Each structure stands twice: as structure tokens, then as C-alpha cells.
A and B are shown apart, each in its own frame.
Chain A
Amino acid sequence: MKLLGFFLLLLFPLYAGAQNFESLVRELPNGGYSERGEVISQILKSGDKRIVITLQALSDGALYASEETGDIFIGEKDDLVDFFTQENLDVTSDSSIKKIKVNNKLRRLIQTGIIQAQHFSPLVSDRMQAAEHAFKDADPERIEILQEALVQEQDESVTAELKQAINATILKTDADIEMKKQAILELSALGAKARSPLSVIADVPELSEAYEEALLIIKNKERVQKFGQNMWYGLSLGSVLLLAAIGLAITFGVMGVINMAHGEMIMIGAYTTYVVQEIIRNNAPALFEYSLFIAIPCAFVIAGLVGVVIERFVVRYLYGRPLETLLATWGVSLILQQLTRSIFGPNNREVGNPAWMSGSVEFIGINFTWSRVWILIFATVIFLSLMWFLNKTLFGTQIRAVTQNRSMAANMGISTGKVDALAFGLGAGIAGLAGVALSQIDNVSPNLGQGYIVDSFMVVVFGGAGSLWGTVFGALTLGVATKLFEPVVGAVMAKIIILVGIILFIQRKPRGLFAIRGRAAE
């Protein structure tokens, strides 16, 4: 094995550059971070084809070295291959093999080096990344490379980004004033993003007029962008509130049961997601991207079943006695929390985000994070399906009939006990669905439910118990109001204002936004 490596090494001296590269890579494990930085800079200059793959691996922590032999390995700790020979080695148990460590400084150095090399890559995404980086970096020494890249560029969006990168860079060079003024004007069209490149000319007297003008344009742009951004944040917070509250809109809103264990149904949904992901991780890692789709029906069924059990064994005996129901379901919620703590431990459980749930996209200057977009869609789908279910199916009609006039519904031959149990199960199941979504943005811990129970009741009461539309408007109003207050007065104060606002509102309209009128309301 070693012999082969040695043999290959003998071949390499034919290429002086390659040999240089190889010996540099061998030097990587030696010394501290600053020495490693030196070696990395030299590797970047070596011109070898393997630069990107090597340094990317180093940056990702996938490069290992043996302390004894000095051999370099690449890959995961339990699946390493020799860096030079590509041989598969079983070295898992060898404790002298240690990861070559990097810190932020080195990662920055590597990323800069790699990205700068991408201006002429055949992939649009690579070139875009390089252009974006050049914009941030605005290194005056690279202006010629940028201009050359611009000449060759075919893609429109990359061209635009490159132009702005050049504008940002020009400000740092000693180009003439007119050119700089032009660059400032073009940059100001970007809005908030232009602040950073423009900051370099803040103290240049000849440009102060252009700078002030640009700042004004930016401020106006920012105002619009900020408002749009806050509206979006409000909508997405509203959709989270809606998801959390919509199950409660059935158990509390439609059935009139004060269900303090509602939050724990959400928690059960989140833990189901965790268990599903664990099973997938251990048995079929390829399915991980779809784990949430598998978790959705599981969470619905499990949380729903728990809901039915609670209804049959606790809530059923307490209809018409709200205070007892409140205390009993609160007790149930404590039992469920401690049970979860005993089974899964008090610590947070790790629920991964599939790739399509991570990251964000920028659109008209507003940043949309994917997880929030999907949650908004998910909440809408659940709400519409629930509306359809309650209004168009037999079972939905039965639920409404039983809650509106129990004895008459019983006279018509509806088994009210069964309907109660299933309706409660439906509410709990939907809370379970919310748990799947919330596991993506919040902690999966035994306390998960507690964080949402107050908000959920607030939404349902504010929107008007008994009205699903009320729940939607309640959730969105509270979400948007919170997010409009937050930038002005801070998160803590925003919460206080909202709570005071709701108290005042309930004083005036005790039945909430969408009050149900007539006999059904009694």
C-alpha cells in the first residue's frame, strides 16, 4: 500500500508545480492557524487543478492527517481515502488520525480564494457567486479581472451584478471624480445593499454632494423595502400562529372545550417528526429529503389518537363544566410533558431541515426564507382542507350539527358521543400537523407546547370562537401588528402592546372579531 503511494510520488516530480502542490498539502497539518494560513495562500497560487477540491474539503473539515506517518486523508471520519493514492483505507480505529482544523479566518481565506477563481466557470451559479463576492470584497487590485469577466459574460443577472461589483470597486480606486459619481448613482439604485460600498466615500469632500444624494435615494428605497419586509414577516408569523391555533379553533372554538393540553398535541407532532427522521436516518438515509411528507400523516394519526383517548377518558365527563375541563386538561398537559421528558429526556431533540426548507430567496429587495414560505403554504392548505371538510362532508356537517344543537342532532340519529370523540381527535390531529411544521423553526423539547398555548388561545378568542375565518384574521392581524411594532419598540415591548391591545379589544367586543350571532352562540 505504502509502496504504491511511494511509487506514485516518484512519478510526480515530472511536474514541478504538482510536486510543489503535494508538498504544500503535506505541510497543512503542521503548525498553528497562522502557519496554515501561509500554506493555504501558497496552495491558492500553485495553479494546480486540485486546489478547489482540496481547499473546499479543508474548509468543510473533511481533510485528515496522520500524526505518525504524515499521510493526508480525505472524506468522512469513518470512510477515508488516501489523498494522493485515492486508496480506500480502513483507518477508523487509528486514533493518530486527526482532522486538520480550520477557524473562521482560514475559512474566509479559502472561500475568497475559491470564489475568485470562479469568474470564468461554465456554471452561471458559480459566476454569480463570484460576482456577489466581488461586490462585497470590492478589491481594487481585481478590477481588471472583473472588467474582463464582464466582457465575456452572457448571463443578464450576472452582468448586472458584475457591473455593480465594478461600481463598488471603482470607488476604492483613484479613478476620476465623474466616473465615481456615475458609479455612486448606479449603486444607489440597489437600496440598503449599497450602504456598505458607499461607506468608503463618506469622508471624501469632492464626492460629498453625490454621497448625500445617494443616501437620500437609498433611504427612500429602504423605507419601501422595509415596509414590505415587515409585512412579509408579519404574514409568516401570522401563518405560524394560525397553524398553532387552528386545531384549537375546533376543540375550543367549535366544541367549546377549554383544552389546555392543546400545546402538547403540537409537541407530540414535533416528536413524531423526530422519531420519523431518526428511523429514516438509520434505515433509509436517501429518503431524508422527504421525511416531512412521511411525518405529516404519522403526526396527524398519533396526535389524533391521543386526542381521542383524552376525550374518551377525561373531557367527556366534563362537558358543560369549563372550569373542571380547564384544570383537568391542564393536568393532562403536565402529565404529557413529564412523560415526554421521561421517554426522550429533557434535552432538545435534533430535527433536521431538508434542503428545500433551508436558505432564502431575494425577490424585489425582500428576503423570503424558504421554511417560512413553506409554512405559509402549509397553513393555507390545512385551513382550506378543514373548511372543505367541515362544510362539504357528512362528518363535518355532523360536527357542526352536534355543536349547534346537541339534543336535536341526537334525535336525528347522530351518535353524539362518537362525533365528540372524533371532532376532538380532529382538532388534536391538526395540532399534530402544526407540530411537524414548527419542528422546523423551533426547538423540539418537552416545553414546545407551552410556548404556543397562550398565543393559540389569544388568536382564537380575538378572532371569535367558533369561526374559522375569525381564526385566520385573528392570526394574521396579530402577526402583522407584532411585526410592525417590533422594529419600532423592540420585541419585548411589542408583545406587551399586543397583549394590552387584546385586553382592551375583548372589553369592547367580548365575542371577538367574527362573533357568531343568533341562537347558536348561546
Chain B
Amino acid sequence: MKIRNKIALTLSLTTFLSTSLFADEDTIKVGVLHSLSGTMAISETTLKDGMLMLIEEQNKKGGLLGKQLEAVVVDPASDWPLFAEKARELIEGEQVDAVFGCWTSVSRKSVLPVFEELNSILFYPVQYEGEESQRNVFYTGAAPNQQAIPAVDYLMDEESVERWVLAGTDYVYPRTTNKILEAYLISKGVAAEDIMINYTPFGHSDWQTIVSDIKAFGSEGKKTAVVSTINGDANVPFYKELGNQGVEATDIPVVAFSVGEEELAGLDTEPLVGHLAAWNYFMSVESPTNEEFIKTWQEFTGDAERVTNDPLEASYIGFNMWVKAVEAAGTTDTDAVIDALVGVEVPNLTGGTSVMLKNHHITKPVLVGEIQDDGQLDVVWETDGLVEGDAWSDYLAESKPLISDWTDPVNCGNFNTETNTCIGAEQ
């Protein structure tokens, strides 16, 4: 153990020395930590391209603090422990000033200690389950109250849904989200027997039993909807099975939190028309900033059919917030930038202005869209104004008293308002 530590120390020291010796003093380095191979490559490659585009655009505008930005791309290969190693390589080896990356919650959890230990900044651009707040991490994706809860409100109010199927893949994001949703539904007076919760393994492909269960559950006279936190590839056979068994969106609508334009691009959308998705951004949103963003994106990728999606918008917001904070702080020094980030306002792509809050989450609008036959999502409902991201859900007993506030005097990610204490490091 000790010897291994020593070796690691010497190794990191040598890499540190060698890279800092040759480091180009005229550039500011930005780390991009997205999987380019393995199972998550399907989603994360887009975000890597997005970051490269944003950095190129910023350089065209003259860079940052008079220096050019330089992207350092690494490939953690959908391997969670490798995320931590690559994060360390970026911060210690490459001396990057901020990292944009991760997709799955488990990859984020695996890099958290690294960012804390080495005191660097991570921008995390994907919707997640909440129940976390870390000083070095900025969450530009949606917290559950910015996606799941408004979507359920929509179904309850507009489609008068009374019975709920919460279907998800068996891992931390769906489990936590469904726990919050269940508590929320019960608080809204939904009876326990009107909620069906179902988990499936990753990559589940045989949905016959579950779809027929959903059908039976929905045939008891009350309007039923499915809230889907089914992840990634398992969605395609799920929707196909729904179509084949004749479950139509007009009978039992499915609202999904992990299906966006990018996922729909590889799908025969015929059986999906009318099903719903809840996000904070859709490519079809009509706003001048969005039109310009899509144009730049398609030019950058050289593909006139290339779609944008919500995590890409979250990357865009996160990057611009970082740029603005660095400009305000006049330095890329971690502590100064972290302080400068809170309160930063940048335009989002839906025509509003997102603000970085004290809990390192941002304000976003919530949109519910219906899937169209061209693979686009059409907004059918949106919240009035922007919703503030809440790190700790108010609907779970254990997290209800907690707040997160990274400014003085609280300066704590999990401050208990009942006991007035900071719980501290255990997450």
C-alpha cells in the first residue's frame, strides 16, 4: 500500500514537472472529460464536439483574458474508475483551469473526491437525481424539481392522469427520482395502489411482460400515464413494444426524462408520436439565440441534419457562465472563479436568462414536448418563468431540512436548517 502510494506520488510528480515545464504559458486550458468509446459514447461524443465548438467560438471572439483557450480532450471510455484517473490527469498533469464533463451519476460520484482534493472546477451538464451539492461542482443540468415534478404536474393538470407507472432502469438516478416522485404523488393525494413502480436491468430488451402489465394497470378505468426514467438503449425496444401491443399515446402517454432529439435520431419515430418528454430545452424552440446556435453547431459538425439537445444547451450555459466568471474575477484561480460564479447571469437558448444560484444549480424553464414524426419535440406546455434548481428535494423526509449555500456565512453543501449545523463531507 505504502509503496504503491509512493510510486503514484513520484509518477504524478514527474508528470507534473514535465508538463508544467513545457506548458504553453499563453493559453488557458479547459478539460473535456466525456467518454468517446464504450457504452456511453453514444451520448457523450456529442458533448465533446459541443465543447470543442464553444471553445473555438470563444477563441474567434479573442479568447479569454487576452489568452487563447485550449481544449484538452481525454477519453474515460465509459469506465467509472477511469473517470477519476483521467480527471486527476487533467488537473494535475495538464493543469487545466476547469473541466467540463461526465454524464452518468456514477461517473460524477467517482470524480467528486478528485475535484475536492485538487480544488478544481467541474461543470456537469446532465439532468440528475439531486441530493448532492459540492463546492467544486456546478450543476447546469436539471435537478428533479426542474424536470420530473413539473412533468408530473402537467400530466395531472392537463391530461387529468390519476394512475401512475414509474418505470426506470435499475440504478441511482431512476431510484432516487422515483422515490421523490412517489413521495410527491402521495402528497398530492394519489393512493398507493394507484402507483406502480417497476425497475429493469440496463439494456433490457424484452419488454413484453412489463408492457402488458402497464396495459392491464391502465385498463382499470382511471386515466394512466407512464413516467419513464428508462435509460439509453433500452428505450427503443420499450417504445417498439408499446407500439406493437397497441398502447397509444392518446390512451397511456409516456413521459420520458432521458429521451431527447439525439436518442430519437436513431429511431423509427412512427410508434412514438404523441409520447412526451420533459426537458429544459428543445431544438424546436423558436428563439434567435437558438437559431444561431443550431446554425453554428451544424456548420461546426459539417452535418446539416445534426441535432442539438438539452445537455448540449447545459454545456453551452455552463461554458458561458465560466467565461463570464473568469472575466469578472480577472483570473482563472479556482477559489476566485468559484466565488465569482455565484450570481452570474447568461442567456440560455430558450430566450431567457439563467442564473447560477448559491447552491451551484441554475435557473431553467421546464418544457414538456410531444414527440413528432420527424424526431423533433414540440413544446406543448411550459412553466411560467424559470424554476430554481433545488439540490435537496423537499419531498423526501431526510433531505427536507437540508439546504445548500456556498456563500458566506453558511458555506455548506448540506446545511440542516432545523439543527443549524453543516453535516459536512459525507455525501
Q: Does B113 have its Cβ within 8 Å of any Cβ on chain A?
A: no
Q: Looking at the complex, which of A23-31, A193-201, A325-333, A392-400 is the stretch in contact with chain B?
A: A193-201
Q: In the complex the two chains form, is A105's CB within 8 Å of B158's CB?
A: yes
Which of B208, B212, B246, B273 meets A359, CB within 8 Å? B246
List the 9 shortest-distance A-B pairs measured between CB atoms, nearest first. Answer: A348-B266, A199-B221, A369-B244, A346-B41, A233-B208, A196-B221, A491-B200, A443-B233, A108-B250
Q: In the complex the two chains form, is A104's CB within 8 Å of B45's CB?
A: no
Q: Does A54 have its Cβ within 8 Å of any Cβ on chain B?
A: no
Residues of A within 8 A of B (CB): 33, 61, 101, 103-105, 107-108, 111, 192-193, 195-200, 229-230, 233, 236-237, 240, 338, 341, 346-353, 358-360, 367, 369-372, 441-445, 447, 451, 482-483, 486-487, 490-492, 495
B204 and chain A: residue at smallest CB distance: A491
A101 and chain B: residue at smallest CB distance: B378
Complex: A128 Cα to B240 Cα, angstroms: 24
- Given A108-B250, A350-B268, A491-B199: A443 and B244 interface contact (C-beta under 8 Å): no
Q: Which of A197, A367, A487 has the most CB of B within 10 A?
A: A367
Which of A104, A240, A350, A490 meets B267, CB within 8 Å? A350
- Given A103-B380, A193-B219, A240-B206: A371 and B244 interface contact (C-beta under 8 Å): yes
A273 to chain B, nearest CB (A): 13
Complex: A111 Cα to B248 Cα, angstroms: 12
Which of A230, A360, A441 meets B205, CB within 8 Å? A441
Complex: A108 Cα to B245 Cα, angstroms: 18
Q: In the complex the two chains form, is B267's CB within 8 Å of A348's CB?
A: yes
Q: In the complex the two chains form, is B250's CB within 8 Å of A442's CB?
A: no
What residues of chain A lie closer than 8 Å to B212, measured between beta carbons? Answer: 229, 233, 367
B368 to chain A, nearest CB (A): 10
A61 and chain B: residue at smallest CB distance: B373
What residues of chain B lie closer than 8 Å to A111, measured between beta carbons? Answer: 250
A-B pairs under 8 A by CB, number: 136
What residues of chain B lie closer than 8 Å to A486, measured between beta carbons? Answer: 209-210
What residues of chain A lie closer than 8 Å to B380, measured between beta carbons? Answer: 33, 103-104
Q: In the complex the two chains form, is B208's CB within 8 Å of A372's CB?
A: yes
Complex: A482 Cα to B216 Cα, angstroms: 20
Complex: A319 Cα to B131 Cα, angstroms: 54
A174 to chain B, nearest CB (A): 19
What residues of chain B lie closer than 8 Å to A104, measured between beta carbons? Answer: 159, 249-250, 253, 274, 276, 370, 380
Complex: A438 Cα to B271 Cα, angstroms: 18
We find that the number of chain B residues with CB closer than 8 angstroms to chain A is: 53
Residues of B within 8 A of A (CB): 37, 39, 41-42, 45, 158-159, 170, 198-201, 203-206, 208-210, 212-213, 216, 219-222, 233, 236-237, 240-241, 243-246, 249-250, 253, 262-263, 265-268, 271, 273-274, 276, 370, 372-373, 378, 380
Q: In the complex the two chains form, is B249's CB within 8 Å of A347's CB?
A: no
Which of B158, B208, B216, B240 meets A192, CB within 8 Å? B216
A493 and chain B: residue at smallest CB distance: B199
Complex: A491 Cα to B42 Cα, angstroms: 25
Q: In the complex the two chains form, is B274's CB within 8 Å of A347's CB?
A: no
Q: In the complex the two chains form, is A346's CB within 8 Å of B244's CB?
A: no
Q: In the complex the two chains form, is A103's CB within 8 Å of B42's CB?
A: no
Which of A370, A442, A445, A490 meets B42, CB within 8 Å? A445
B251 to chain A, nearest CB (A): 8
Complex: A111 Cα to B200 Cα, angstroms: 33
What residues of chain A lie closer than 8 Å to B241, measured between beta carbons? Answer: 369, 441
Complex: A222 Cα to B200 Cα, angstroms: 24
Q: In the complex the two chains form, is B199's CB within 8 Å of A490's CB?
A: yes
What residues of chain A lie closer than 8 Å to B273, measured between beta carbons? Answer: 61
- Given A236-B208, A491-B199: A346 and B42 interface contact (C-beta under 8 Å): yes
A27 to chain B, nearest CB (A): 20
Q: In the complex the two chains form, is A369's CB within 8 Å of B208's CB?
A: yes
Q: In the complex the two chains form, is A348's CB within 8 Å of B208's CB?
A: no
